Amino acid sequence: MTDFVDLDVRPILRSGGEPFAKIMEAVQGLAPGQGLRLLATFKPTPLLHVLGSQGFTHEAKEIGGGDWQVEFTPTAGAASAAPGARATTPASDTWPTPVREMDNRDLDPPEPMVRILAATESMAKGEVLAALLCREPIFLFPELAKRGHGWRGGFEPDGKTYRVLVRIGAGAGAAA
């Protein structure tokens, strides 16, 4: 029987806020074997994929009034370091200087992701793309992984700009 930590993000959503950071903080705080019981104002389909890629299964059910309860359960082989990981390659790896820089801070989703993915198509293996964004690109990371690219990212000291580096063809399992 899984022990669940409860997180109700409905007040955040109803006030127009974005609860992703709070959800990931809760996931990072889970003890081994613990799951997360999330209450939301809609079925969080993108989150199902994000946490699924980090070793969680889910069971979602509508609980009335359009609200949803989703129980995220860790799989037996889920790595404890996976939730909240911020890179696909070790920080000790030295990456070359970016050959291309993009500033996507003034664009609305999904345009930044579309432009970054398009840019990677014309780059050579081992080259690095740097992009500035106004939020963490959570939906970009699985797409980069599918294409075999490595990435690193984090918020700049201003706390508002997210900088992501994408190394072409250097994803997990790919030669760096």
What values do phi and psi take at 40, rounded to 5?
A: -140, 165
Predicted confidence at residue 153, as pLDDT, reads: 86
In CATH, which of 1.10.287.90, 3.20.20.140, 3.30.300.160, 3.30.110.40 is domain 4-74?
3.30.110.40
Predicted confidence at residue 175, as pLDDT, reads: 33
The CATH architecture annotation of domain 100-167 reads 2-Layer Sandwich (3.30)
Q: Could you write out the DSSP letters of every residue in 93-151?
A: S--PPPSEEEE-TTPPTTHHHHHHHHHHHTS-TT-EEEEEESS--TTHHHHHHHTT-EE
Predicted confidence at residue 115, as pLDDT, reads: 95
Of residues 28 and 72, more confidence is placed in: 72
Distance, CA of 77 to CA of 93 (rounded, Å) = 26
Of residues 67 and 76, more confidence is placed in: 67
Indicate the average pLDDT of the chain: 84
**Residue range 123-144: mean pLDDT, rounded:** 91
E strand or H helix that includes residue 26: helix 20-28
Q: What number of other Cβ atoms are within 10 A of residue 98's Cβ?
A: 15
- Please report which confidence band the pLDDT of residue 132 belongs to, taking 50, 70 and 90 as the band edges: very high
Burial class (CB within 10 angstroms; exposed 0-12, middle 13-18, buried 19+) of 14: exposed
Chain centroid to CA 126: how far? 23
CA atoms within 13 A on the CB side of 102: 24
Predicted confidence at residue 77, as pLDDT, reads: 53
Predicted confidence at residue 49, as pLDDT, reads: 76
E strand or H helix that includes residue 28: helix 20-28
Non-local (6+) Cβ contacts of 4 within 8 A are 34, 35, 36, 37, 71
What values do phi and psi take at 60, rounded to 5?
A: -115, 140
The β-bridge relationship of strands 128-133 and 100-103 is parallel
**Residue range 47-68: mean pLDDT, rounded:** 87
- Identify whether the C-beta of residue 55 lies closer than 8 Å to the C-beta of residue 26: no
Predicted confidence at residue 93, as pLDDT, reads: 63
Over residues 81-105, the pLDDT tens digits come to 333 334 454 444 678 999 999 999 9
pLDDT > 50? residue 173: no
Model pTM score:
0.52
The ranges of the chain annotated as CATH 3.30.110.40 are 4-74, 100-167
